Amino acid sequence: MWRDATQTVFGEGPEGAEVIFVGEQPCDQEDLAGKPFVGPAGKMFDAILNDAGVDRQKIYVTNAVKHFKFEPRGKRRIRSKPNAGEVQACRWWLDREIGLTKPDIFVALGATAAQSLLGKAVPVTKMRGEVIERDDGLRVFITIHPSFILRIREAADKEAERRRFLQDMKQVKRLMAV
């Protein structure tokens, strides 16, 4: 993956952040900018965090996989999902970020992040909103990936999903405070 990607996209946020949000992998714009969550999913994520009263400057944001995986299609680069081996290969990176940041809580944004943080496949839609405690005591809040909201076409459904995700982020804010 690193061969085709423009660069490694490291996590971003202050040392000692109380919470680490973990996405899947950088996409097209993140690959070019070298920063996580700056493209369309990132903009939606920022807006919802803002509505929930969570300051992005105070959180650490990263991805389970640190390089953009894609299929070229003409001039476009179409994102393809990292497999379990690729997630596993990037685990040491996430572990180092955890060791340096020492957060109180993690947020797994979607199935790839949940798999990376918990070491097993997790049914995200079923377990959404739950906090799972790892063997080392770290708490992992499970929710969807914000790009899921972007893919919904019907306006009312999109708005309903946005509201649900906002509720999830408000729950994260409450968890940060305990």
For binding to ligand URA (CB under 6 A), which residues are involved? 23-27, 30, 36-37, 39, 41-42, 63, 147
Q: Rounded CA gap, 42 and 40, in Å?
A: 5
Question: Closest distance between ligand URA and the C-beta of residue 131, in Å?
Answer: 21
Beta bridge partners of 41: none
Question: Closest distance between ligand URA and the C-beta of residue 3, in Å?
Answer: 19
Question: Closest distance between ligand URA and the C-beta of residue 137, in Å?
Answer: 26
Q: Which is nearer to ligand URA, 125 or 133 (CB)?
A: 125
* φ/ψ of residue 74, rounded to 5: 65, -130
Q: Report which DSSP code applies to 121.
A: -
Q: Which is nearer to ligand URA, 30 or 97 (CB)?
A: 30
Nearest CA to 118 out of 141, 100, 99 is that of: 141
User: What burial class does residue 125 get, using C-beta atoms within 10 Å of its C-beta: 0-12 exposed, 13-18 middle, 19+ buried?
Assistant: exposed
Write out the two tokens for 57: 């400057």
Nearest CA to 143 out of 12, 24, 36 is that of: 24
Q: Which is nearer to ligand URA, 133 or 165 (CB)?
A: 165
Question: Closest distance between ligand URA and the C-beta of residue 127, in Å?
Answer: 18
Q: Which is nearer to ligand URA, 98 or 108 (CB)?
A: 108
Q: Which is nearer to ligand URA, 13 or 39 (CB)?
A: 39
Question: Closest distance between ligand URA and the C-beta of residue 36, in Å?
Answer: 4
